[in-house]
Amino acid sequence: MNGISYGAFIVPGLLMLSLLQQSVSNASFGIYFPKFVGTIYELLSAPISYLEIVASFVGAAATKSIILGLIILATAALFVPLRIEHPFVMVLFLVLTAVTFSLLGFIIGIWADGFEKLQIVPLLIITPLTFLGGSFYSIHMLPPLWQTITLFNPVIYLVSGFRWSFYGQADVNVALSIGMTFVFLAICLGIVAWIFKTGYRLKN
């Protein structure tokens, strides 16, 4: 793939796939379980701010996901010839993605009113979008029409930017990838702020 062995080419995509799934699952279950057993009310009445509550749940989920991602990266380095041309950008994408999708998982955990709903978004939306977002191929291999359609998939910006940090090659402009990640982060932050402002599924 453009002079890169296929085994090395798919590592950023595999890492991003694991990162997205783990971030969403960890955060959604982390906030849903206190709701399920009723301890969420003790948390809401404690003398701590909403910002501290969100930071604790999202921070824990994101930290676990980042650690898992680094383990996958270290393991992959034993089997394929990896190189990281832009380590700062790699860390930036790793942290931004983990935090953003942990926020998304936090939102899902509050929205869900059953264990089944916790799996709807990760299994039926995020996983297919990741597989169709250039994780295992370059979108330039697709026909022009499908290349255009793929650009509406938000995951392509994450995978493309993350792969650029490794090999200096991207399907989408790196600045656009970073910008789209910050936009998604801002959207998630806005939704979380609205949830705590209105008490949506927290105070009833």
Per run of 10 residues, the mean pLDDT along the chain (length 204 residues) is 87 92 91 85 85 92 94 93 92 94 93 84 86 89 90 92 92 92 94 88 71
Examine residue 133 and state whether it is found in any structural domain, yes or no: yes
Write the CA distances from 197 to 49, 73, 113, integer angstroms.
12, 39, 20
Residue 138 is classified by DSSP as -
Residues 6+ apart with CB under 8 A from 130: 13, 16, 17, 20, 21, 155, 159
Q: Is residue 98 within 8 Å of residue 65, measured between CB atoms?
A: yes
Q: Is residue 96 within 8 Å of residue 39, measured between CB atoms?
A: no
Examine residue 203 and state whether it is found in any structural domain, yes or no: no
Q: Which amino acid is at 139?
A: I
- Position 40 scores a pLDDT of 81
- Position 38 scores a pLDDT of 81
Q: Which amino acid is at 16?
A: M
Examine residue 146 and state whether it is found in any structural domain, yes or no: yes
The whole-angstrom separation of Cα 161 and Cα 173 is 8
Domain that holds residue 17: 6-198
Examine residue 126 and state whether it is found in any structural domain, yes or no: yes
- Position 167 scores a pLDDT of 92
- Position 204 scores a pLDDT of 60
How many domains are there within the chain?
1
H helix intervals, 142-173: 144-150, 155-167
- Position 49 scores a pLDDT of 87
Query: Model pTM greater than 0.85?
Result: yes
Examine residue 1 and state whether it is found in any structural domain, yes or no: no
Q: Which amino acid is at 86?
A: H
- Position 41 scores a pLDDT of 82
- Position 194 scores a pLDDT of 92
Examine residue 176 and state whether it is found in any structural domain, yes or no: yes
Place of tokens 């009723």: 38
Residues 6+ apart with CB under 8 A from 182: 96
Examine residue 159 and state whether it is found in any structural domain, yes or no: yes
85: which 2 tokens? 């041309």
Examine residue 72 and state whether it is found in any structural domain, yes or no: yes
